[in-house]
Structure 1
């Protein structure tokens, strides 16, 4: 499975990103706009867009499809749900970068994940110290 990474510009934490995506959600979907469609867009459908905040991968949104808006820009349609992932360091970049399934961080949550019970800020701090 192929994924994308993208910087959540202007978002200081995952809660702010969640609020931004929820604000434009409709019918269980949300979107982001970008100037150019990724070259490998067909491989990305069903994958996820992993969000970078403060030089860390912190969450993901599942990619549903790609569309074009009236200006010719690319709309990336995403599931409205933002899934927290095990925080992983990732340098910021412009545009997007591809991420293979083997390199993608795992989701937080589930019965076997003790980290899901910790506050987001604490998880982020532990990850920044490379303790998790």
Structure 2
């Protein structure tokens, strides 16, 4: 069975560093010291996600990073509603920028549609604003 990824908006974050800082702050509340994202919906394609999937983070309209998904934990909200905690590898891996239109919740992302990780050359260009990198990548300059 092939794996599948999830793409999710990182609401309120301005950069990958900002996302990392937010996760670091929240890790203290986690029972196992791992970052997690809690969502109301349980993925129907759980087995495919757990077979090597990652969560791809959209920051300011651009996919900029990913984290490997380790497991899905059930959590109960204070309102008694069952929720899904997507438990993540703490390593945030920067990706090639890929523009994304706004959407609610999360979406599945096929492996062939996922942006690649930044290589050494691309890391040198990482000082460019994400939006500019995305445009330059789209026109083949990067």
Q: TM-score, normalised by structure 2?
A: 0.81
| Equivalence for 1:96 | 106
Q: Contact (CA 8 Å) 2:73, 2:84: kept in 1 or not?
A: yes
Q: 1:60 and 2:63 equivalent?
A: no
Pairwise CA distance, 1:123 = 5.3
Equivalence for 2:76: 70
Equivalent-residue separation in structure 1 for 2:129 and 2:83 (angstroms): 36
Q: 1:19 deviation in Å?
A: 0.7
The TM-score with structure 1 as length reference comes to 0.87
Which residue number in structure 2 is paired with residue 13 of structure 1? Answer: 15
Whether 2:42 is the aligned partner of 1:37: answer yes
Q: Aligned residue for 1:2?
A: 4
2:135 aligns with one of 124, 128, 131: 128
Separation in 1, partners of 2:99, 2:53: 20
Larger-gyration structure (1/2): 2
Aligned residues: 128
Deviation at 1:57, TM superposition (A): 0.5
- RMSD over aligned CA atoms reads 1.7
Deviation at 1:53, TM superposition (A): 1.1
The answer to whether the 8 A contact 1:3-1:98 is kept is yes
